[in-house]
Every structure is written in structure tokens, then in C-alpha cells.
Structure 1
Amino acid sequence: MSFDFSAVLPFWLVLLKGLGVTLAFTASCALIGSLCGFMLSLLRNSRWFFVRLPTTLFVEFFRGTPLLIQIFWIFFCLPVVFGINIPPYLSVVISLTLFMSAITCETFRGALKSINSEQYDACTALGLGLRIQTQYVIFPQALLRAIPPLLSNIVSLFKESALISSVGIADLMFVGQNISNSTARPVEFLSAVAAIYFLVAFPLTRLVGLIEARLLRRFAY
């Protein structure tokens, strides 16, 4: 069998459109999931057991089960259980957001534990309410400390998002599979898809190390 990677060139625009869909899902779910993850981290650090327990179960469930099963369950089972019609793109957004929330919760929980207790004592001494304390004192410091692992989570989400092709979302993986099937050239097109994922993910992983080395060590600690 001969390989001809020039066969990929006529389809580069279609592959880029698929990449755009992948990036759109990744960015939106990463943003929403990160905000939800921060709120979950606050609940997991609550002094009330009845608040910590369900939050812990939620986080451990979504961290401990495969994302593919979560996508399938929300796509196939959730409409049956609740008797509602959920569009494919919405089920994917829900799945990726819940997954991102769970893994980001642990990222922020570790960041919150690194904040000195004097910060909380100062807020209490100044009479700051819980919302003001969280929004203007705790969250900025936790975000700064959480940037490297948070970016790693986003990279993981970007790579895991290839699973959404299994429910018919026309992302990069779905487009690459369809073209490879129609042209009978799986090696060329799947290799091209892998290369595109790598070209997007690799600079982000380098960025994580750069931020950790040059910013966090100077300002956060």
C-alpha cells in the first residue's frame, strides 16, 4: 500500500472547520466548568458535612468514570429518564462541563488550601461579607495559584473532546474519520488529525511550564 499525504491538502479547510468546532466546545466548557469547579471547591471545603458529602460524591463520580460513558449516558439515557429532548450539542456541552467541573474542583481546592489563614482572618477583621471576601480576596489568589494545573486541565479537555465524535458532533475527529472512510486513506487523514491535535496541545503544555516558572514563583509565593 502506498501513502500519499498530499491527499490531505484538498480537505484542509474542512479539517480546520472541524478544529473550530472542537475549540469552540473546549473553550466554552472550560470556562463554564472552571467557574463551576471553583464553586464546588468552596463547597468541598465547607465545614458542614451535609454540604461536603454530596459535593464529594459528585466530584469523585465524574473523576472516577470514563468520559465516554458520561457522554453516552447524557446523550442516550438522560432524555429517556426525564422524558425530554436534548439536542446533541447540548448533551455534549453538559458532559464536558460536568467533567471539567469535577477535575477543576480539585485544582482549586488545592489552591485554596495554599492560601494562608491570615487572609481569611484579615477579611473577618475588616468585616467583609462572604461574597466580597470570595470575589475580591480569595478567588484572585486561588486563580493565580491554579493557573498551571488549570491550563493542564484545559489541554486534557481539548484532547478528550475527540470523544464527542461518537455522538455525531462534527468536530475534528468526526470530520477526519468521515474523510478517511470516504477516501479509503485512514493513515493519511488520521495522521493529519493527530498532528493537528498535537500542534494545538503542545504549545499549551509549554505555556504551562513557562507561566509556572516565570509568573507564579514571582507573584504567588
Structure 2
Amino acid sequence: MSHINVVYPYIAVLLRGLGMTLAFTVGCAIVGSLGGFVLSLLRMSSNRLVKAATGFYVEFFRGTPLLIQLFWMFFCLPVVFNVSIAPAVSVLLSLTLYMVAITSETFRGALRSIASEQHDASMALGLTPRVKILYVIFPQGLLRATPPLLSNVISLFKESALISSVGIADLMFVGQNISNNTARPLEFLTAVGVIYFLVAFPLTRLVGVVESRLLRRYAY
């Protein structure tokens, strides 16, 4: 018989694991989104070599399981380069590179939706490419990309449960350890699932609010 009361003494430990999960998610989401914007610009380059290289990068990281990427960074990268890589570093690299790939497609779609008149007006005003990108293209692209970007962050948050497989003390790792030590997997794995849901569900609702209110008013 399950007794959910056995979870209460471990709530603080589970929340510390959640803090680790959120730290990796937020950090990799920010860096990955910025890298994704840069990559989206490169994918729209007129240079065929650049387009081919960036296209291969995106398709590779989107087309292979994140768990394989994580294991490769953790187990294979140190062997290939003969260096010692901390588990946290391998996790940061894996999640960030994955986030760059998926957000680049989000930004590419958003940038393509910007009217050509915006580019023509920037040229007519004599704006440099850097100024045009920073002050004309990026703000509009970011606004259009906000709902799918938030969805990407939610996906990253859920996918981050995989980092427990390399020994990072995130929410999933802590929950598994407690359930193994107490022999109460039903209670603790259920609690972990509930915590993930309580974090992810408000974010999914936020996506709908942003899309229905902000974008309809300001983006078009």
C-alpha cells in the first residue's frame, strides 16, 4: 500500500534537485536561444558552404536522440580529445548544442515572416547590417518566435531529466535515489512527476497567453 506521507520528509531534497534542473534548463535555454538566432542567420546565408554546414548541424542534433548526444559528450569526447570533462560540462554542452539546433529553426521561421519592406526600409535609411539585425530584425523576430521559444524551453525542461543518467543530482536523479533507498518507487516517482507537471503546466498556459494576446496585438 502506498502512503504519500512518506514523501513529506524529503520535499526539501527534491526541491534542491528541482533547483539543479531549473539552473541547467534556464542557463542552456538562454545561451542556446542566442546561439540559435545566430545560426538561423547563417542558415539564411547566400554562401552554399555555410548553408550546408549549418543545415547538417541542425539536422544532426534534431535527428538524433538527446540521450545519445549526452552520452557521447560524457563518454566519447574525453576519449577523442584525451581530456577530462566534468559531468556538468558535458551536460551544459549537450543541452546547449541541442537548444541551438531547435531554436535556430524557430528563429528562421520567424525571420522569414518579416515583411521584405522592413529590409528595404533599412537599406533606404542606410542602416548597416549589424544595426539592421540588432534594432530592426532581432526585435521583430524575437516577438514572433516567443511562443515556440517558450515551447522549446518546456521541452528542454522535460528532456533535462536525462541528465540524471550521467550522475547530475537533478530532480530525477534525487527522486530515483530516494525511491531506491526507501524501496518506495511508487510514491517518489509519482512525486517527481507531479513536480515536473507543476512547473511545466503554467509555462504551457503562458505560451497560449503570449500567443493570443501579445502577438496578435504587436507582431503583425
Give the TM interval when normalised to the shorter protein.
Answer: over 0.9
How many Å separate the matches in 1 of 2:23 and 2:133? Answer: 29
How many Å separate the matches in 1 of 2:44 and 2:101? Answer: 14
**CA shift digits 1:60-88 (9 cap, x unpaired):** 00000000000000000001001111111
How many Å separate the matches in 2 of 1:133 and 1:219? Answer: 19
| Other-structure match for 2:133 | 134
Question: Does 1:68 pair with 2:84?
Answer: no
* Structure 2 gap segments, 5+ residues each: none
Structure 1 window deviating more from structure 2 (125-134 vs 56-65): it is 125-134
How many Å separate the matches in 2 of 1:161 and 1:127? Answer: 45
How many Å separate the matches in 1 of 2:89 and 2:154? Answer: 21
Aligned length: 220
| Other-structure match for 1:218 | 217
Question: Does 1:31 pair with 2:33?
Answer: no
Question: Does 1:105 pair with 2:122?
Answer: no
**CA shift digits 1:189-213 (9 cap, x unpaired):** 0000000000000000000001100
| Other-structure match for 2:83 | 84
| Other-structure match for 1:190 | 189
Secondary structure at the counterpart of residue 84 of structure 2: coil
Query: Match for 2:13: what amino acid?
Result: V
Structure 1 window deviating more from structure 2 (120-129 vs 200-209): it is 120-129
Using the size of structure 1 for normalisation, the TM-score is 0.99
| Other-structure match for 2:7 | 8
> Alpha-carbon deviation of 1:130?
1.2
> Alpha-carbon deviation of 1:48?
1.1
| Other-structure match for 2:179 | 180
How many Å separate the matches in 2 of 1:156 and 1:173? Answer: 15
Query: Match for 1:116: what amino acid?
Result: A
How many Å separate the matches in 1 of 2:195 and 2:3? Answer: 18
| Other-structure match for 1:168 | 167
How many Å separate the matches in 2 of 1:157 and 1:130? Answer: 32
How many Å separate the matches in 2 of 1:130 and 1:74? Answer: 36
Query: Match for 1:125: what amino acid?
Result: A
Secondary structure at the counterpart of residue 72 of structure 1: helix
* Structure 1 gap segments, 5+ residues each: none
How many Å separate the matches in 2 of 1:101 and 1:123? Answer: 27
Identity of aligned residues (%): 70
Q: Quote the RMSD (CA, aligned, Å).
A: 0.5
How many Å separate the matches in 1 of 2:121 and 2:84? Answer: 50
**CA shift digits 1:45-66 (9 cap, x unpaired):** 1111111000000000000000
| Other-structure match for 1:40 | 39
How many Å separate the matches in 2 of 1:85 and 1:58? Answer: 25
Using the size of structure 2 for normalisation, the TM-score is 0.99
Query: Match for 1:21: what amino acid?
Result: M
How many Å separate the matches in 2 of 1:130 and 1:205? Answer: 35
How many Å separate the matches in 2 of 1:85 and 1:125? Answer: 53
